[in-house]
Amino acid sequence: MISLLLMAASVGMANSLECPPNTEALTTKDSQIPLDELEIRLKPLVRCELAEEAKVWMTLLKSKVQEISAEELVAKHKKTEMKAVEDALDALEDAKEAMEEVPEATKGESESTAASQEEAETAVAEAHKQIKEVMGDDQEETEDAVDSSIAKEVLEKSETETGVDSKSGKQILQDEKSATKQLDKIDSKELQDQETLKKVTDAAVQLADSKSEIRKSLLEHVNQLYAERTALIDRTNLVINAFEEKGAAEEPITEYRQYIKAVSGLKVDVSDVDATLAALKGWLISKEGGLRWGKNIAIFVVTVMAFYFLSVIVGRAADRGFKASRHTSALLSDFLTKAISRGIIVLV
């Protein structure tokens, strides 16, 4: 009879540990759920439920990493575009100087005039070539459309979070678009006119400023995404640990942790000064970055100092106690006092 009851109980427990079909994650509705609350919610879940939890949390983390990569790629493209615009501005400045020398050369010999005219035409042709490089080719149109879409989304988010007038972000994109159109219509003959050359130069300056503002917003937003990624990693690790404790296979656990290790940390391109400074600044002021490390270091230092002073106080008290005892030699008293003091420090 007892054996039958035990068998029935074991069968009932086994059934209670089985996952129903179409099991869904229960803890991912709020990706910013506090860690202590998440830990409590994970306790009653069985292994198969935790497997689904880990899978969904990993999906959230992957999506965040993809978002970071997309914005970093756009920022990199903007840097390349800015370099092309700067080269075009240099070429336009050379063309302007060459054209200004032509009238002065007409006062001298005809050979000098012809040479100056040829130099001006060469400079104008080079400027036109640089402008065309800024415009790119047809193959880059799809990439530019994706970049513009991401940049627009980031600017809108930045304005919403900082309370900036919503027109400012649109204005930046509009300035970039209008300057691009103006440069795209120019041919080499038009550049030989000094007034047109000045307008084109102004448009190039506007384009450079717009791209710089867009890139700055992208780098600032990427820093926010880094903090969000760190928060997701903390929660994902908590779920993975719970999954492992309840008998998860080694293969998925290893795969998850290798992925987390690969996407963690701050990776910067030291050749890109602006991006490096922005990343370091963002990390230092981030709650999930520098502030967290600063807090942990401060707690560690305070703890060490507290235990050190405690060891001194306890050591002195022990020394007095041993010296007051007639049954303890001076050598043993000194040994025990040091052992107690150092033992307290070791506890840290």
- Reported as a single tens digit per residue, the pLDDT across 293-317 is 677 777 777 777 877 777 778 777 7
Structure confidence at residue 123 (pLDDT): 74
pLDDT tens per residue, range 44-82: 999 999 999 999 999 999 999 999 999 988 888 888 888
Provide the percentage of residues in the chain whose pLDDT is more than 90: 23
pLDDT in tens, 73-107: 888 888 888 888 888 888 888 877 777 776 654 44
pLDDT of residue 11: 40
Residue 58 to residue 66: CA distance in whole angstroms: 12
Other CB atoms within a 10 A radius of the CB of residue 190 amount to 15
Confidence of residue 284 (pLDDT cuts 50, 70, 90): low
Helix axes 47-105, 110-135, angle to 10 degrees: 170
C-alpha of 208 from chain center: 24
In this predicted structure, the answer to whether residue 183 has a pLDDT above a threshold of 80 is no
Tell the residue number behind the tokens 């981030």, with chain if given. Answer: 286
Range in 25-39, 195-209, 225-239, 276-290 the model is least confident about: 276-290
Q: What is the pLDDT of residue 254?
A: 95
CB 243 within 8 A of CB 53: yes
Contact, 341 vs 315, CB < 8 A? Answer: yes
CB 336 within 8 A of CB 322: yes
The reported pLDDT for the residue numbered 271 is: 62
Confidence check: pLDDT of 42 > 60: yes
Question: pLDDT grade, residue 205 (50/70/90)?
Answer: confident
12 compared with 86, residue with greater pLDDT:
86
* Residue where the block lists tokens 């502030």: 291
Distances in Å between the alpha carbon of 257 and those of 29, 41, 61, 202, 251? 22, 22, 12, 52, 10
**What confidence score (pLDDT) does residue 292 get?**
66
Q: Residue 268 has what pLDDT?
A: 67
Q: How much is the mean pLDDT over the chain?
A: 77
